[in-house]
Amino acid sequence: MKKNLKLRAENFKIKIGNISYNKKKIKETIKKANDDLVNILLLPELCLTGASLYDGFANDDILEECLDALFDLKNFSKNIDTLFSVGLPVKEGRKIIDMVFLLKEGDIIGGFFKDNFKDHEKYVFDTPEEDEFIKIKDEYVHLYNKSYIEINDIKIAVSVGENEEKDIPDSLISKSKNNIDIILNPSAKTRYIGSKKDIEDKIKFLSKDTIYLYSSTGLGESSTDFVYEGLNIIGENGKIKESKRDEFVDLCSYFDISQNTIEEFFDFKNKPSLSYWDKFPYLLDDKKIYVEDAFDIVTRALIQRMEAISCKKVILGLSGGLDSTMALLFIVKAFEKMNLPKEKILLYTMPAFGTSKRTKSNAFKLAEAFEIKLNEIVIKDAVNIHLKDIGHDGKTQDIAYENAQARERTQILFDIGNMENALVIGTGDKSEISQGFATYNGDHMSSYAVNASLTKTELRYIVSYLVENTKNQKLKEVLDDILKTPISPELKNENEEKISQKTEDIIGPYELIDFFTFEFLENSSVEEIYEKAKVAFKDDYDKKTIKKWLKSFYKRLITSQFKRSVSVDGPALSQKSFSPRRGYLLASDMSAEVFLERIEKLDE
């Protein structure tokens, strides 16, 4: 029996990481296709998440939300005749699989996985343990890589993304074994000059003796490093039938049809509840080893960088706070190893409107403890001139008022660094990097960031060890007071006698932020982090407080990726970091909604 079937390749403007939004768009696309009497609808690779989610693909919240969306789409499809594809990341054990599933009339008919990855995907995705089945929640789904799904005697092969760029593309292997009627290639191809022609030429070759549908994600993907193709193409018998960017393409063709059946499988899963969790899972029990390793790693890194650029001087802004204190401690140790005189350590303190007597005094005491000269440049006049130049009244303590001070300090350090051929040492830590709590192109910028892989809690841990063990009495006393001083950016203040701008009042307790950061980098879900935090901090914070700061954490984390994307070099001291080169990567354009929505549902 011959029947005319209508095929469509279509993409849509996604929102990165916003699964609920993308699912809604997929449903709208499916419904319209069904109303248009489309029989087979191809959507792009990773269309539930967006393809530019980077390390976000390994996040349990994303993964769980994707599975929920997949089964919601399965339920949605009960009254949908159109066979459609859905692309999403799937977790199997410790592996993350780039999957595409075909759904029709309430069934997940089969799955296909990607096993030929782009360079930046190799650090995220892997292949399944087995190539026949994959367990999705309580259902076993058959895998059909290099094979085909048969519906009504129509043989359909799916080749995911770059599986078509192997020496022998997956679709050719499928065709060599079987008489394939339709090949679907859901893609997330990045665009370059001339890439459209290259793709079309490839499809002309691969569509010989078959129909070939191609759909690539496009609009809405992150612009951090790439622009995505956004192409929808249908080829038939070696010719391009339709090719459009960001618009669907259709083809009607006749096929011999009949009927066939599909089996389903089920299973169960248990999850135990927590009774204990460590507050500080990122700290070693042996404090001595921890501190010695930290100093050895950072000083080796700093020495290597200085030798590589033939630099024998460093310059540091010393505020008297915890971060710049830790940076100076690292510098002093590195200079001792290199046998360089301390005169080549250039220290500057730059008080302004929010500087307190306590931190300024500690800066001088710290320099004195190491017998290093501390230079003072009062930046109030320079900042006032700048504020006047840009039309600011100099009184309103807004973001411009605060950031102007931080950027003035950075400008001074870099300019003196140029004059003295000195390396500007950054003081920002992992907690600040996580929350974006730094002035963009202000204290956010330096030539080398020695604290970048250490959280505030870790800095306190190291400094407390030095207080306990140093034989330098002056150093011991000033470090002890620095530990007791409230953390503050000191960009505004009521008076110099008291620190009124306290960071932990703004972004939350650092012990919670650092706990959340560690668990997030371990790809724990929102629910898992919350449950662990409730147990770990049960004697310190109630559920309402933990939930409040967890919400703040995710908001700041996601919206501040643009700062992390341009972070300067600095040594990693743990296996997980936010380095834009080899650390945890997110898209700067990513939405935080998937996390915030789940936080709102906690304890419901």
**Which CATH number covers residue 137?**
3.60.110.10
228 and 322 fall within a common domain? no
**pLDDT score of 362 more than 80:** yes
Q: From CA 561, how far away is CA 435, in angstroms rounded?
A: 9
Average pLDDT over residues 146-165: 90
For the chain, percent of residues with pLDDT exceeding 70: 96
Q: Which of the four pLDDT bands, split at 50, 70 and 90, describes residue 176?
A: confident
103 and 197 fall within a common domain? yes
Name 314's bridge partners.
345, 423
Average pLDDT over residues 473-497: 87
Is 498 a domain residue?
A: no
CATH number at residue 313: 3.40.50.620
Is 103 a domain residue?
A: yes
Q: Three-class SS of residue 159? A: coil
202 and 350 fall within a common domain? no
Give the pairing of strands 265-266 and 133-136: unpaired
Point out the domain boundary residue: 204, 232, 253: 253
Name 2's bridge partners.
256
157 and 217 fall within a common domain? yes
Is 282 a domain residue?
A: no
Could you give phi then psi for residue 544, rounded to 5 degrees? -60, -40
Q: How many Cβ atoms are within 10 Å of 269's Cβ, its own excluded?
A: 7
Domain that holds residue 60: 5-253
377 and 481 fall within a common domain? yes
Instruction: Give residue-wise pLDDT tens across range 72-85.
Output: 999 999 989 899 99
330 and 228 fall within a common domain? no
Identify each DSSP E strand in 260-411 by its residue range: 265-266, 314-317, 345-349, 374-376
Average pLDDT over residues 513-537: 93
pLDDT at 349: 97
pLDDT at 177: 81
Is 273 a domain residue?
A: no
**pLDDT score of 494 more than 90:** no
Sheet with 40-42, edge to edge strand ranges = 107-113, 95-104, 83-92, 40-42, 2-9, 249-256
Is 188 a domain residue?
A: yes
Q: pTM here?
A: 0.80
190 and 300 fall within a common domain? no
Average pLDDT over residues 538-558: 96
Instruction: Give residue-wise pLDDT tens across range 339-355.
Output: 999 999 999 999 999 89
Which of 600, 598, 603, 604 lies closest to 64, judged by CA? 598
Q: Which of the four pLDDT bands, split at 50, 70 and 90, describes residue 258?
A: low
Average pLDDT, the chain: 91
Q: Take residue 476 and report the two structure tokens written for it.
A: 């011991």
Residues 6 or more apart in contact with residue 580 via CB below 8 angstroms: 564, 565, 566, 567
451 and 590 fall within a common domain? yes
Q: Three-class SS of residue 67? A: helix
Is 264 a domain residue?
A: no
Q: From CA 68, how far away is CA 137, in angstroms rounded?
A: 9
Point out the domain boundary residue: 233, 253, 273: 253
- The answer to whether 108 touches 137, Cβ cutoff 8 Å, is no
207 and 313 fall within a common domain? no
If one counts the domains in the chain, the total is 2
pLDDT at 270: 27
230 and 367 fall within a common domain? no
Q: What share of the chain is helix, strand, coil (3-state, %, to 5)?
A: 40, 20, 40
Q: How many Cβ atoms are within 10 Å of 420's Cβ, its own excluded?
A: 14
Q: Three-class SS of residue 462? A: helix
300 and 234 fall within a common domain? no
519 and 449 fall within a common domain? yes
**What does R_g of the chain's alpha carbons equal in angstroms?**
29
Is 552 a domain residue?
A: yes
Average pLDDT over residues 389-395: 96
Is 270 a domain residue?
A: no
